């Protein structure tokens, strides 16, 4: 009798633990349930998503997909707040590279701003699967600016407030040609560069993370 009572209490308690966390989650995280694409459709079929920054303010997103058997197409979706997504571009189910099975999409309408990007895989039967969303910073975004001094500069320029996400620095001239690349220590908050050999003109400092995404940027003038 006592054993049965203990079992009943244990089962009842377990049922409460199972039900109430779900209710609590829905109440305290409505955006996780209601935002844009349904999180239950998020898939692990998207592989190695990378964003490559361009000086003209565009980004190229590259990705692979592990299961192409029923795939009809992809859709690149964008949002300003990670809640309300709209379709931006449709991509065919034919990889850009048949060898590596890589797909690409060119994002060129958001210069000077940031957007949340999500990829959707569309299947022939009307179902779909989504990637995780990611905030992408486009060149010129106020969120990305670093501090530099002096500016204008003649020889030595100091770069400060470097994000811990930064792994690489690329310096472009005003014509879009790469003048120098530098590796950045992730714990290096500032860096000194000698650009005395550079010609007079504007230069763009682009700081990237390990996935090639813009983390920070700044334009300086070399006297």
145-222 CATH choice from 3.30.530.20, 2.60.40.3080, 3.40.250.10, 3.20.20.70: 2.60.40.3080
Q: What is the pLDDT of residue 143?
A: 60
Mean pLDDT for 94-118 is 84
- Helix (DSSP H) and strand (DSSP E) numbers for the chain: 2, 15
Top-confidence range, 31-40, 49-58, 148-157: 148-157
Q: Is the pLDDT score of 220 beyond 60?
A: yes
Q: Is the pLDDT score of 217 beyond 60?
A: yes
Q: What is the pLDDT of residue 111?
A: 78
Q: Is the pLDDT score of 23 beyond 70?
A: no
* Antiparallel, parallel or unpaired: β 178-183 and 156-160: unpaired
Q: What is the pLDDT of residue 59?
A: 85
- The 3-state DSSP class for residue 130 equals strand
Cα–Cα distance measured from residue 107 to residue 101, given in angstroms and rounded to the nearest whole number: 20
Task: Tell me the pLDDT band of 219, cut-offs 50, 70 and 90.
Answer: confident
39-137 CATH choice from 2.40.50.500, 2.60.40.10, 3.30.2130.10, 2.60.40.180: 2.60.40.10
Task: Tell me the pLDDT band of 11, cut-offs 50, 70 and 90.
Answer: very low
Q: What are phi and psi of 27, to 5 degrees?
A: -75, -40
Q: What are phi and psi of 186, to 5 degrees?
A: -60, -15
Please tell me the pTM assigned to this model.
0.54
Q: What is the pLDDT of residue 104?
A: 93
Cα–chain center distance at 155: 34
Q: Is the pLDDT score of 18 beyond 70?
A: no
Task: Tell me the pLDDT band of 29, cut-offs 50, 70 and 90.
Answer: very low
Cα–Cα distance measured from residue 140 to residue 125, given in angstroms and rounded to the nearest whole number: 41
Q: What is the pLDDT of residue 41?
A: 53
Q: What is the pLDDT of residue 144?
A: 67
CB contact burial 75-111 (16+ within 10 A = b; e otherwise)? bbbbbeebeebeebeebebebeeeeeebbebebeebe
Q: What is the pLDDT of residue 42?
A: 57
- What lies within 8 Å, CB to CB, of 184 at 6+ separation is 162, 166, 167, 168, 169, 191, 207
CA–CA distances in Å: residue 123 to residues 46, 64, 154, 194, 215: 14, 16, 57, 53, 34
């Amino acid at each position: 009798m006592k054993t049965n009572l203990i079992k009943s209490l244990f089962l009842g308690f377990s049922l409460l633990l199972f039900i109430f966390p779900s209710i609590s989650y829905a109440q305290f995280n409505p955006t996780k349930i209601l935002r844009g694409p349904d999180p239950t459709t998020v898939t692990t079929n998207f592989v190695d998503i990378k964003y490559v920054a361009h000086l003209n303010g565009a980004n190229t997103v590259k990705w692979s997909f592990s299961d192409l058997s029923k795939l009809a197409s992809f859709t690149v979706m964008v949002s300003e707040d990670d809640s309300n997504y709209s379709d931006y571009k449709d991509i065919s189910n034919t990889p850009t590279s048949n060898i590596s099975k890589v797909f690409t999409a060119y994002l060129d309408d958001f210069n000077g701003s940031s957007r949340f990007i999500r990829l959707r895989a569309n299947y022939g039967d009307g179902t779909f699967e989504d990637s995780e969303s990611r905030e992408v910073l486009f060149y010129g975004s106020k969120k990305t600016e670093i501090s530099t001094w002096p500016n204008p500069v003649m020889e030595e320029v100091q770069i400060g407030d470097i994000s811990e996400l930064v792994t690489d620095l690329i310096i472009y001239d005003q014509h879009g040609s790469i003048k120098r690349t530098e590796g950045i220590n992730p714990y290096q908050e500032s860096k000194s560069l000698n650009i005395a050999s550079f010609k007079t003109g504007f230069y763009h400092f682009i700081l990237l993370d390990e996935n090639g995404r813009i983390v920070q940027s700044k334009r300086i003038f070399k006297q």
